Amino acid sequence: MTATVRMVPLQKIKPRDGFNPRADFDGERMAELVESVRQHGIITPLTLAPDGDGFVIVAGERRYRAAKQAKLKEVPAQVRDGDGDALTLAVAENVIRADLTPVEEAEAYRRLVAEHGDTARVARLVGRSEKLIRERLDLLGLPDEARTLVGSRRVPLACAPMLLRIAEAEPLLADLVAVWLAEHPAGCAGFPVDPGPVVDDVLEAEWQDDGGQPLTPVAYSISGYYGPLLPGGRSRGGQLPRILAKLGAHAAAVERAYAELPAIPQKEGEYDWQARQAKERRERECFALADEDADAARAYGCLLELPDPDGRGDHRYVTDPEWLAARLVDKIKAHAAAESERKQREREPRRPTAAQDDGAKQARREQREREYKARVAARARNLDLGVALARWQPKVDTDAVRLLGSLVLIHYGKAAAWAQRLCVEQPTTTSKQGKVTVRYPRGAQAEKQLHDEATARLLRARTPEDALAVVLRLLLAQRLVDTDGLPGADRQGIYEPQELAGSKVLAKLAKRVAPPSVKQHLAEREAERERREQAWRDEQQAKLAEQRAKLAAGEAVRCACCFQLIGSPGDAAEKHGSLVHRGDCEQQWGNAYDEPDDPEEEPQR
């Protein structure tokens, strides 16, 4: 194969019919290209192949069309002799320049596969992965409308696999879903993983074709109690006509079976709630499909099941109208038999004899007597249990300590194990500057793993002391560990619950266990806290002195309670480090912090 670049008269060039992978030439982009060609000419040469006295285009049909519109006489071209892979070259060039729509790309790959035999060879020829080529070829399985919308990029490519899955069950439903996605772009984000809500919206919408005729997909939702999703929504009355529209040619059997049901009597001149409830019950029992119906449809092969992130299986649809019609006829007959049996029971007279009444009363009396004796016996057993528990003196053994330790770990184990990881050597990395970074376990999975390891150590303990040590080590690590060595994002999970922070036993054990370095750090931290508190108290005293000086000088200050001005020293009272008005403000300000005069007196709640 040889290639030369030269100027070729435009009149000798012609496109090859049906050869170009591109099927759509965007008018706006073509106009921009024509203007660029008028100003700068053809920059990238066309790729041509000899054809008799002229040439045919291998790659560059858009540039050829733009040159014709710009009225050029000749264009630069690369002429390839003996090129048997012309289509491959054209596809590769357009793909590399992202000039083809996904569907055009799929059509080109289909022609290449037909020419070269398999997708693996085509992938090597065009420089694309075999997986990508198979995914593009799958697009050709979409119905016309869905394929058009995906090809025009109005529906994202990420939605195509789920549209293909729907199209395998019902092409019309896939077309309508694609139209809905094109009109509601916000729904495209969640559709690939949770398509059910979109399909439900499509089934409840009312669709028409270009001629104004209604379009009704067969997909019949299995929605349990309330019946199927129908055009217009569940709130719209008259389920039967909308269900018959789904069944198409198979609707006659369902309509005939439903018409044979007895009419529901309704009162005239007023709204009959009872008749409405009877009608709703009839429609529910005749038309609502349940789990057993879904199992039967799955076995028959006509059940479309869409993925559900919650795992509840709420989005299942029957897509075979013939099977669906037969199933609804069976349900209508079952409803008719159940209604007939119920009415028969209602017509049967109930005339119990006096002997039957006396026997029933005696049976109820005996039952109440047995229940009373059972309650008395249960109360006596509970009292015996209380006495036995009061006399019992338990012995501390390993199993008992394990039980109590397990309860402690259930409530406090995760946070304590999360803190203890700081007391164990962890992997480190050293930067180029010589700084050492410790790689502590992170995330909820690591926290759960540490808690599980602590629980396992507790269960392996062989003596009460060993079991007790497992729990106390975790709680003391939680109290004494220093989080300054952690990044800020990791510190949030290390804290000591309030009920443990006030434990004098843990405080005593902490003093006994803590090494000198930890004791020194805690003492320094406590001294720093006291220093800050003393500085705050000094600041408050200075502020009070300044306010009193202003009052003595005749300058008003603002009350900390009501924020009104205090005019004289006689009107001011000091309460909890602030100046307030005497009287009401003095009583109200900080009363939550006042201790009762009588230590035995409990505050009212």
How far is residue 525's CA from residue 559's CA, in Å, rounded to a whole number?
35
Whether 567 and 550 have beta carbons less than 8 Å apart is answered as no
Question: Which token pair is 52?
Answer: 């008799």
Contact 209, 144 (CB under 8 A): no
Q: Where are the alpha helices (DSSP H) in 392-463?
A: 398-420, 443-460
Q: How many CB atoms lie within 10 A of CB 477?
A: 20
497 DSSP β-pair partners: none
CB contact at 8 A, 169 and 317 = yes
Is residue 322 part of the annotated active site? The answer reads: no
Please tell me which residue in 61, 107, 283, 496 is annotated as part of the active site: 61
Instruction: Name the nearest CA neighbour of 79 among 151, 129, 165, 6.
Output: 6
Residue with tokens 């799929």: 106
First to last CA, the chain: 98
Contact between 201 and 179 under an 8 Å Cβ cutoff? The reply is no
Residues in contact with 212: Cβ distance below 8 Å, sequence separation at least 6, in sequence order: none
| Two tokens, residue 168 | 């395998």
CB < 8 Å & 24+ apart, contacts of 191-198: 191/158, 191/159, 191/162, 192/158, 192/159, 192/161, 192/162, 193/307, 193/309, 194/307, 194/308, 194/309, 195/162, 195/166, 195/306, 195/307, 195/315, 196/306, 196/307, 196/308, 196/314, 196/315
Give me the torsion for CA of 195, 196, 202, 205, rounded to 10°.
-150
Q: Where are the beta strands (DSSP E) in 72-193?
A: 74-81
3-state secondary structure 478-539: HHHCCHHHCCHHHHCCCCCCHHHHCCHHHHHHHHHHCCHHHHHHHHHHHHHHHHHHHHHHHH
**Catalytic annotation, residues:** 61
